[in-house]
Every structure is written in C-alpha cells, then in structure tokens.
Amino acid sequence: MRKPIAWMKELVPQKGLEWQVVLTAHEEMAKDWEQPVIQLYTKQEWVGLTDEEIQECLQGLPTQTIDVYARRIEAKLKEKNT
C-alpha cells in the first residue's frame, strides 16, 4: 500500500481574506491538524504483466471458468501495483 508523501489543509478565508493552503511533509504535524486533511501521493506508473506471469496465472486451470482466470490475473496485477 502506498503512503502519502505530504499532507495539505485549506484554511477558510475570514472577512474577504484569500484562502490559505498549508502543506507539510511531516506526518506528525498533520496529525495535529483539525480535519479535513488531504493526503497527497505521487503518481505511480502502471505495471503490466509479463507473458510469463500471464502463463503462471493460467497454469493448471484447463477446466476452470473464465471468471477464475480473470480473478487470478486481477490478483497478480494488484500485487504488482501496491
């Protein structure tokens, strides 16, 4: 599971003042803020399956339904992308 790289909160303007955004890379500081706090993440590049991994997912399933194949492939993709 990915962890956030920063935390952000917005401060509501008072009597016409502009909005203020507070940003920190320190999780402990963000824990002290009042809610809501927005967690920021890096964009992760999608990792696909290799031909060998696809064959691994299909191995030993000649009589299984397509749903079983799909669930195994989905599980392998989840493993690679978390």
- Side-chain-side CA neighbours of residue 56 (13 Å): 10
pTM: 0.40
Most confident of 7-11, 28-32, 51-55: 51-55
52 vs 29 pLDDT, higher one: 52
Q: Which pLDDT band, with edges at 50, 70 and 90, does 53 fall under?
A: confident
Q: What is the mean pLDDT of residues 66-74?
A: 81
**Predicted pLDDT at 30:** 78
Q: How many CB atoms lie within 10 A of CB 57?
A: 19
Place of tokens 């397509």: 66
